[in-house]
Amino acid sequence: MASLDYKPDGETIKLFMKDDSFLRGLRGPVGSGKSVACCIEVLRRALLQKPNDDGIKKSRWAVIRNTNPQLKTTTIKTWLDWFPEDEWGNFHWSVPFTHHIQKGDLDCEVIFLALDRPEDVKKLLSLELTGIWINEAREIPKSIVDACSMRVGRYPSMRDGGPSWYGVICDTNSPDTEHWWPIMSGDTVLPDHISKQEAKMLVKPDNWSFYSQPPAMLELKDKNNEIEDYEKNPIMENGINLTADYYRNIIRGKTKSWIDVYVLNKLGQRSDGKPVYESFVHKTHVAKGDLAIADGVPVFVGLDFGLTPACVFAQRLRGRWRSKSTNR
């Protein structure tokens, strides 16, 4: 068996890995060791699998990410950093990307899938798996999580001994307050616009567990309670694998909302990339209350049938557009 030197640096990571819940989620700052912990957890569960009659520990995992570029440049890169091909066997770069580890009594197949590839989604919904790792779950809709839960526990087959453990593990940076994760973990209240049927799907099952890591830095406030600086949190996790000034450097030039999400592990809106409409100002362009439909004026409907479908209803009055959007 190839050597592997890993020791979780943080109580939250340790609790996450010790938990046997059907679904486990780990939320934390950037650089806090979440993805690495999930990589190790995949292998650890494979090693804990009970051998079949031939003495082989068989398991099959799927690792999913929102887009193919993210899957290749981030998720697979992290995986191969810990399980390099020269020690753990060849990685197959043909679709679906697969790392089939066969060493000693271990037979672990790991399949990497991206949700922006229709063929990968089709593949996910047909696989018989031991477990699934959802990397960066804030990008994944609840419907996909529910679909994942139906694919695990099906390998190895019962006539081959069945899985010793099966389930779903997830990691993520903090999502926004209306995401399924904080609602189900109890970190935020159910939004008023959620229907009763949707609300039932956001009740946390007893065999789901969510873990939140401590912030990497702490706010320093002046006498007026205004933030004037940040300092390292003494109980931050994964510090042994980061330079002493890692977080001090990455917060330079960043907005408070960015720091809140990626460093302080707070729920909230994040502003990644370039906005479509750079002139958009929330206070100016968003109504404080519901907009009444104007009689005699056409209502335009815009639909987006992407991974997370959305809809906008709009009317043009006196040369201006009035609209209401929904992603329900």
Residue bearing the bigger pLDDT, 324 or 180: 180
Which of 7, 10, 6, 12 lies closest to 25 in space, CA to CA? Answer: 12
Which of 21, 31, 24 lies closest to 250 in space, CA to CA? Answer: 31
Task: Give backbone dihedrals phi and psi of 64, rounded to 5 degrees, phi first.
Answer: -120, 145
What 3 state SS string does the chain have?
A: CCCCCCCCCCHHHHHHHHCCCCEEEEECCCCCCHHHHHHHHHHHHHHHCCCCCCCCEEEEEEEEECCHHHHHHHHHHHHHHHCCHHHHCCEECCCCEEEEEEECCEEEEEEEEECCCHHHHHHHCCCCECEEEEECHHHCCHHHHHHHHCCECCCCCHHHCCCCCCEEEEEECCCCCCCHHHHHHCCCCCCCCCCHHHHHCCCCCCCEEEEECCCCEEEEECCCCCEEEEEECCCCCCHHHCCCCHHHHHCCCCCHHHHHHHCCCCCCCCCCCCCCCCCCCHHHHCCCCCCCCCCCCCCEEEEECCCCCEEEEEEEECCEEEEEEECC
Q: What is the CB neighbour count within 10 angstroms for residue 1?
A: 11
**pLDDT > 90 in the chain, percent:** 76
Residue 281 pLDDT = 55
pLDDT (tens digit, 9 = 90+) per residue, 169-178? 999 999 999 9
pLDDT (tens digit, 9 = 90+) per residue, 20-65? 999 999 999 999 999 999 999 999 999 999 999 999 999 999 999 9
Binned at pLDDT 50, 70 and 90, residue 148 comes out as very high
Distance CA 124, CA 119 (A): 9
Average pLDDT over residues 138-166: 96
Average pLDDT over residues 258-274: 82
**pLDDT > 70 in the chain, percent:** 90
Rounded to the nearest integer, the mean pLDDT of the chain is 91
CA 166 to chain centre: 19
Residue 315 pLDDT = 84
Binned at pLDDT 50, 70 and 90, residue 241 comes out as very high
Give the amino acid at 107: D
Distance CA 319, CA 75 (A): 47
Distance CA 34, CA 213 (A): 9
Residue 327 pLDDT = 56
Average pLDDT over residues 133-161: 96
Answer for the pair 90, 47: CB distance below 8 angstroms, yes or no.
no
Binned at pLDDT 50, 70 and 90, residue 259 comes out as very high
Domain 11-212 has CATH 3.40.50.720: no
Residue 271 pLDDT = 53
**307, pLDDT greater than 70:** no
Residue 300 pLDDT = 85
Give the amino acid at 210: F
**11, pLDDT greater than 70:** yes
Residue ranges covered by each domain of the chain: 11-212, 217-262, 282-326
Distance CA 219, CA 245 (A): 16
**69, pLDDT greater than 80:** yes
Task: Give backbone dihedrals phi and psi of 125, rounded to 5 degrees, phi first.
Answer: -75, 0
